[in-house]
Amino acid sequence: MNRTEITFLDHTFKNPVIAASGTYGYGEDYRRYYKPEILGGIALKGLTLEPRAGNKGIRLWETPSGVLNSIGLQNPGLDVFARKVLPKVVKLGKKTEILVNIAGHRSEDYMKVLDFFKDYPEFLYELNLSCPNVDDGMAFGSDPDEAYKLIKKLRRNCELKLIVKLTPNCPSITEVALAVEEAGADALSMINTIQGFAVDYRRKKIPFDNVYAGLSGPAIKPIALKMVFDTAQVVKIPIIGIGGIRSATDVIEYLLAGATLVQVGTANFNNPRAMKNIIEDLEKYCRKTDERCADLVGSLQL
Partner 1 sequence: MPYLIRKILHPNDWLEVAFAFEDDDVRPEPGQFYMFRLSPYAPILPRPFAVYDYDGAYMTFLVRMVGEGTWLIWENEEGLELYGPYGKPFHAPDDKPLVIVGGGIGIAPLNFIAEDYIDSGGRYLRSYLGFDGKKFDCGFLEQYSRPIITTEGYITDKVQIIYPDEVVVACGPRPMLETMCKIVPPENPLYLSLESRMACGVGACLGCVTDFPLVYKKTDSGLVLSKTKQVKVCTDGPVFKREIV
Q: Which residues here bind partner 1, judged by CB under 8 A? A: 22-25, 29-30, 32, 45, 53-54, 56, 58-62, 64-67, 69, 71, 74, 217-218, 266, 268-272
- The nearer residue to partner 1, 150 or 215, going by C-beta atoms, is 215
CA 3 – CA 285 distance, rounded (Å): 10
The CB-of-105 to partner 1 minimum distance in angstroms stands at 19
- The nearer residue to partner 1, 18 or 58, going by C-beta atoms, is 58
The CB-of-50 to partner 1 minimum distance in angstroms stands at 16
Residues forming a β-bridge with 52: 75
With contact defined as beta carbons under 8 Å apart, do 246 and 270 qualify? yes
- The nearer residue to partner 1, 38 or 158, going by C-beta atoms, is 38
The CB-of-237 to partner 1 minimum distance in angstroms stands at 29
- The nearer residue to partner 1, 75 or 189, going by C-beta atoms, is 75
Based on the residue annotation, tell me whether 131 is a catalytic residue of this protein: yes
- Residue among 131, 170, 286, 293 flagged as catalytic: 131
The CB-of-297 to partner 1 minimum distance in angstroms stands at 28
Catalytic residues: 131
